[in-house]
Structure 1
């Protein structure tokens, strides 16, 4: 650029005019600063040498040319963005341009600071260059793309009109916003997939920066979702060349293309069917059943059952600031035995579990915990009559067993709160022993806590019980024997029993999650050794790792991989093969980004590195992140800027599906997930406020059959009422947190048959039948009326107690998760499937905490018949 009269140039520039020859110079800004600095240093040294001759130096033509070139190209970029509005100025390019201004200004300032060494024309050049660079820097810093966005929205309105519904301003903004990294934070029913599809069309239509459809990669999570995107792009916009894939499909293609380049054979898949998850789960179940015949493996399961209720990591004194706090914590700890009995110490649990898991002379031992011994009644210092409760009573033999919390010297544990408590405990021991000494009917077996810590605790217990039995019954022999594995399963409480039944399924989840974090069995073992875990977590991990290692050995022996391996190996292939997929994509669009996992993130990250200038567009709803069981990690969404820096965020806040009362209730649900979601506003386009109905059964936990009968009857009758009022089966959804609750399912089937209400219980999509399905399967669906069953505090309730995510933590490389956060998001999904009416069923004595959290948004009704 010929600088000439700078003031005139600036004036012409501000009018939006540039000399025609400048437009012909449009090219990427080159990095000429190193050369400028070299020239500056050389010239300054030369000038210094000439000082002795009292001569004024000049800035060389080469230095002027480099400075002029950068200023010219900065002007052209500024015109491109600020005047012609031909492209979106990304954060990264804006920063680069501002940095160029700053570096060029630094070069000019180095001349200005030595102005006395240069002649007048040189100083004039420097001063005018600084004016122009300062102006450009200021203009670039204040530029914000808003005018560009509005112009594009107007220009491409014809594309937005092709949507199946009118797009709102937020949706249009999301479509045209085109930073390097883009995050669209959506709400339920806000049309996020529609935005992704329309953006694809916009990218291929826009000018002058249109994108070749072949350079667009769209990633979905399920085959069904990918097919839907393909069909909508083709039918609505005639776009067929965009690459639409699932992550697994892309991983497979990367491996195939990598094999062609390297000449290696493409790894074969262990499971090649359309439903990998089911095939994989069934195969793990097969391996589990084979291993279950092994005695050592059975012992691992029994150990897990014994620790089934130990959900917490037991704290040590170092975890507390004051020892009194630790003592209080220890005194309040409880432990649960195999049959569900809650006891006060680990030793008491071990004692009770021993008698549950052993027969005496081939028969089950009857045992009662803390049964009041009225024959030992006494009057305390306040004149109140009290009956002591010895730890264990064996009614068939009139034997009591006391576990004394004492050490070898007769002292009580430190965590007994204060001297008074200690003395009171010792007084109680003394009083009980005296009562036993004063009668002949009942015998007392004693065992102390210090003996529990030894390796021969069971031997001591057997020896003392057998001795007491022989004294009472000298003519009989007594022998304790471990009961068979299957018999033990029948004796444990319902929750533990169901957990054991679901072990193989949970093992398959554990393996899937470990693989999404690229954790082989040895890495998981290392985590177990180096970090603190609950006893239950360690016990489950021991079982899961046994199967995980067996499964991995089989894969290696067969030279095969599974779907999780496919993505991990694709990432490895991209890292090792420098040319693979280089410059293949200009835009990567991802649907349902809230379900991203560690391995999928790594795949995207590598593709972005391979494709310089590629833009990333991610759309999702963190409030609907419910795929933790398959390895998804919400942190990648909630903390998006930590993984893809300085993203442009657009919110889709309007819910086009549900009425206001349902949208507001959904927001109320998520409000209780503190810190694990993105704050956002949600608004209902439909301002109707239909009451959300909660029907409460009067039957309690002990009347399970009556409860299921009552809610099934009322639900089916209500559905019939909707059908009679003109609703079609497709207008109704029938949901449950868990689909395998057979009692409830059978009741529904029975009443549906009696009332001739068409309900489908096999999961198939039949437009002439009302689908009964789990909440997980309902994601993405909607209905005018939604019935949500069994929202109670129970094993198969909502939140579901049978599916405890804590056991998967050793396979997860991220923050520890609140066990109720994902359950609450799942409840949010259930609530927001409803368009007009939401009907929820619960039970009076076990109303779910989730219902309590929204009680100000709902109307309660009591079921009386």
Structure 2
């Protein structure tokens, strides 16, 4: 069966000549000077398109190739296409028939290998991988036939050959396993164990999580949903069913306190089970040490400086030693501390965070207009360049449309003017900078008119790493000698504290070791992130790391990150063979890539089971190398598994559940879940109070606390004491009048202060969130994790304040009865504004009167707020000084 296009057809459709030949099993095609050949069944479809004069065919092969054949006689095209489809559909139908028969035989063999008494899914995924369905005689896999584009048409054309569509084998097995698992759940969910193990019966979600024993299970547990009870019940169930023995169970926690708490809970609930004391509750670090010890016969000793925050102090001491002995290190250290203490941030005009005046003071003491100008001024100060900031232009420029011109920088030694323009790579200013582009043209024209030398930098050149080297070249080419001085002490804005930089370097070390990234790889990544600042910090890091590793070697010790990496090597190589069949890892949102690898290594055998428990909505322990992508990519990392959720909380009232869930899931990368509650608390569970100024905050908190205490004393009817948690973003948020506040509560009410980070896993009847304001040390904190850390992470988070949002979620979900948020009208937190704008909260003052949440009519980012000036009260924008809008 042959098909060709004519010379006229090819010419008029501007197509190459072709010849297509179809036998019973193959399609051969000559198209111009190209030759193609396919087995018929490797063709997905051939589409026919009829035009006014000519027909067109599109050949779509299973390998992704698409070939267009044009200029075909319409009658010939229809005849050939019909005949071809008949041949193709018959071959697909015959292959589908074979796939059906082989799938039935293969599936029955798989299901026969499953245990008959419990948990058919235990070995299911492994058996599918170990025993894939055979390849069909046509050469395609059963998967390829089950998903063939012409399968349905083939079944319709040849129903006697193919009465039923063949399923995708793995999907069909999964459906069968799901059906068997559901049957198993119905059989076991009523076990007395689930009603008596805890003080209250387990929920259906908890029972499902306990009974599900897929080889890999991720349990996403909402705040207050009883995850610890579920983990303990899973252990009890596994022992009661004879699935594992006590000495085959390993429970892993991230710190010693959590491991001890798990052990105590097991001891309390499993007292009647024999040998329950053989269950291992370990920290990841403790387990890593035991792995190395068993694999090598010599258990390593962790370095003494790793405990109690001494690791950062150790980095600091190494930095001081290097600064004294290495002039290059000292120069780069001071360069980072003064010039590159902060990343540049967003393009001007796009920042969503409040920048206070004190944040834009230079090393020399001037107040500049942007972070970019501050960077340039600090660079000039560090290199000893004499400059004048915004000095008047020596020629008169004031007229009816313009005031006197003040160039950004002037270098008197070389008579050079320097303008820094907020322009992107295309030479465009931010959209909200009205008239800015015209101003740029005017300034350039002035310099041409008066024949004054002008040097330019832009936002783009500064961020791309081109701006400062170009400035250096411009100055040196005019004879100005730069004099960098690592001993030059800033007289204006203080240098970045060395302990802050030491913490950044220590965090880099943990993430880089956890992801096994060398300093060279980090430097390459950092240069893409921030072309100048990034590599500078990595250079400091590399020298500190070398000294750190030298001291570990000299003392014959290891750090926790190297220890985990060594344990991974022994587990993955088989030198360590884990005796554990059931591994339960708590707080999985805090897992690093390295911890995930060791879990994968010790649960790789078909008869082992991993249950990872965590909540990606809660803040992560980034200081210890936590990487949220490890949890979000669970199925990809482990290859298969089941994801379950505990969404019923025993703690928070309904309003807190709904508001906190919607708030944290503004970040689209958070795993979706809808949290429900058993709490019977009604009414407003979240209230917000705004002080007119910071001095009023203390009395506002005291007044509200007094009212809460009065209410508690009037209505409290439970045997335990009520509790009130004062919650701060920082330790410095602890109230100065704490003793007075405790006297208000008296001995019958527990009152205590803690930070949000430390509050994870705790709860109280009432939570008072203190100092929820905007600014650098606000909530969200604008001193978020340094962006350079992103170069050590496999999947950077690009959602603004992603970790701070999770931290705010933690704060909201500590309360059993109610949350009270305290802010300042003129410095309201962006999170508070967001909740108010969405109608989740009403903001009131000390008298209970509503505080305006109307958007600023000028910038649209801030809101109208009452302020006081030298002429009395007025209405202004909360984004001042970024926005100067005001009204009577």
- TM-score using structure 1 length: 0.68
SS where residue 184 of structure 1 aligns? Answer: strand
Which has more helix, going by share of residues? Answer: 1
Residue correspondence of structure 1 range 452-601 to structure 2 within 5 A: 453=470, 455=472, 485=487, 487-488=489-490, 491-492=492-493, 497=496, 500-525=498-523, 527-528=525-526, 531-576=528-573, 578=574, 580-582=576-578, 584-601=579-596
Residue 354 (structure 1) aligned to one of 351, 360, 380: 380
Aligned to 1:391: 408
Given that residues 691 and 859 in structure 1 are in contact (C-alpha distance below 8 angstroms), is that contact kept between their aligned partners in structure 2? no
1:147 aligns with 2:192: no
Residue 448 (structure 1) aligned to one of 444, 452, 455: 455
Cα pair distance change 1:280/1:722, threshold 3 Å? farther
Aligned to 2:207: 172
Distance (Å, rounded) in 1 between the aligned partners of 2:186 and 2:366: 64
> How far is the alpha carbon of 1:534 from its aligned partner?
4.6
Given that residues 390 and 402 in structure 1 are in contact (C-alpha distance below 8 angstroms), is that contact kept between their aligned partners in structure 2? no
Aligned to 2:822: 841
Q: Deviations over 1:427-482 (max 9, x none)?
A: 33367x59xxxxxxxxxx96634997264655678959xxxxxxxxxxxxxxx987
Residue correspondence of structure 1 range 428-447 to structure 2 within 5 A: 428-429=446-447, 433=450
Alpha-carbon RMSD: 4.6
1:733 aligns with 2:710: no
Given that residues 727 and 767 in structure 2 are in contact (C-alpha distance below 8 angstroms), is that contact kept between their aligned partners in structure 1? yes
Report the structure number with the largest CA radius of gyration. 1
Aligned to 2:613: 619
Residue 415 (structure 1) aligned to one of 427, 433, 438: 427
Aligned to 2:632: 638
Aligned to 1:757: 743
Distance (Å, rounded) in 2 between the aligned partners of 1:823 and 1:753: 30
Distance (Å, rounded) in 2 between the aligned partners of 1:864 and 1:486: 52
Given that residues 596 and 634 in structure 1 are in contact (C-alpha distance below 8 angstroms), is that contact kept between their aligned partners in structure 2? yes
Given that residues 698 and 844 in structure 1 are in contact (C-alpha distance below 8 angstroms), is that contact kept between their aligned partners in structure 2? yes
> How far is the alpha carbon of 1:535 from its aligned partner?
3.2
Given that residues 574 and 581 in structure 1 are in contact (C-alpha distance below 8 angstroms), is that contact kept between their aligned partners in structure 2? yes
1:266 aligns with 2:266: no
Distance (Å, rounded) in 1 between the aligned partners of 2:455 and 2:778: 40
Given that residues 220 and 247 in structure 1 are in contact (C-alpha distance below 8 angstroms), is that contact kept between their aligned partners in structure 2? yes
Aligned to 2:674: 681
Distance (Å, rounded) in 2 between the aligned partners of 1:660 and 1:836: 10
1:229 aligns with 2:262: yes
337-346 or 542-551: which moved more? 337-346
Q: Deviations over 1:573-598 (max 9, x none)?
A: 2234x35225x122111111121111
> How far is the alpha carbon of 1:487 from its aligned partner?
3.0
Cα pair distance change 1:376/1:717, threshold 3 Å? farther
SS where residue 320 of structure 2 aligns? Answer: helix
Cα pair distance change 1:139/1:562, threshold 3 Å? closer
> How far is the alpha carbon of 1:844 from its aligned partner?
1.9
Given that residues 632 and 671 in structure 2 are in contact (C-alpha distance below 8 angstroms), is that contact kept between their aligned partners in structure 1? yes
Q: Deviations over 1:231-262 (max 9, x none)?
A: 111221122111221111110111111122xx
Distance (Å, rounded) in 1 between the aligned partners of 2:377 and 2:128: 74
Given that residues 219 and 614 in structure 2 are in contact (C-alpha distance below 8 angstroms), is that contact kept between their aligned partners in structure 1? yes
182-191 or 140-149: which moved more? 140-149
Given that residues 220 and 591 in structure 1 are in contact (C-alpha distance below 8 angstroms), is that contact kept between their aligned partners in structure 2? yes
Residue 378 (structure 1) aligned to one of 376, 384, 398: 398
Cα pair distance change 1:738/1:535, threshold 3 Å? farther
Cα pair distance change 1:419/1:491, threshold 3 Å? closer
Aligned to 2:240: 205
Cα pair distance change 1:534/1:817, threshold 3 Å? farther
Distance (Å, rounded) in 2 between the aligned partners of 1:599 and 1:422: 51
Given that residues 726 and 767 in structure 2 are in contact (C-alpha distance below 8 angstroms), is that contact kept between their aligned partners in structure 1? yes
Distance (Å, rounded) in 2 between the aligned partners of 1:276 and 1:220: 17
Aligned to 2:320: 289
Given that residues 316 and 499 in structure 2 are in contact (C-alpha distance below 8 angstroms), is that contact kept between their aligned partners in structure 1? no
> How far is the alpha carbon of 1:671 from its aligned partner?
2.1
Aligned to 2:599: 604
Distance (Å, rounded) in 2 between the aligned partners of 1:812 and 1:724: 50
> How far is the alpha carbon of 1:146 from its aligned partner?
1.0
1:253 aligns with 2:253: no
Given that residues 587 and 614 in structure 1 are in contact (C-alpha distance below 8 angstroms), is that contact kept between their aligned partners in structure 2? yes
1:403 aligns with 2:417: yes
Q: Deviations over 1:822-864 (max 9, x none)?
A: 1100110111011111011222223222122222211211247
Higher RCO, 1 vs 2 (CA within 8 Å, ≥6 residues apart)? 1
Distance (Å, rounded) in 2 between the aligned partners of 1:632 and 1:79: 39
Q: Deviations over 1:313-355 (max 9, x none)?
A: 999xxxxxxxxxxxxxxxxxx9985458445796885356535
> How far is the alpha carbon of 1:539 from its aligned partner?
3.0
Given that residues 189 and 658 in structure 1 are in contact (C-alpha distance below 8 angstroms), is that contact kept between their aligned partners in structure 2? yes
1:852 aligns with 2:852: no
SS where residue 624 of structure 1 aligns? Answer: coil
Cα pair distance change 1:374/1:829, threshold 3 Å? farther
> How far is the alpha carbon of 1:810 from its aligned partner?
2.4
- TM-score using structure 2 length: 0.67
Residue correspondence of structure 1 range 40-51 to structure 2 within 5 A: none
Distance (Å, rounded) in 2 between the aligned partners of 1:71 and 1:356: 77
Cα pair distance change 1:768/1:556, threshold 3 Å? farther
SS where residue 732 of structure 1 aligns? Answer: strand
> How far is the alpha carbon of 1:654 from its aligned partner?
0.5
Cα pair distance change 1:172/1:715, threshold 3 Å? same
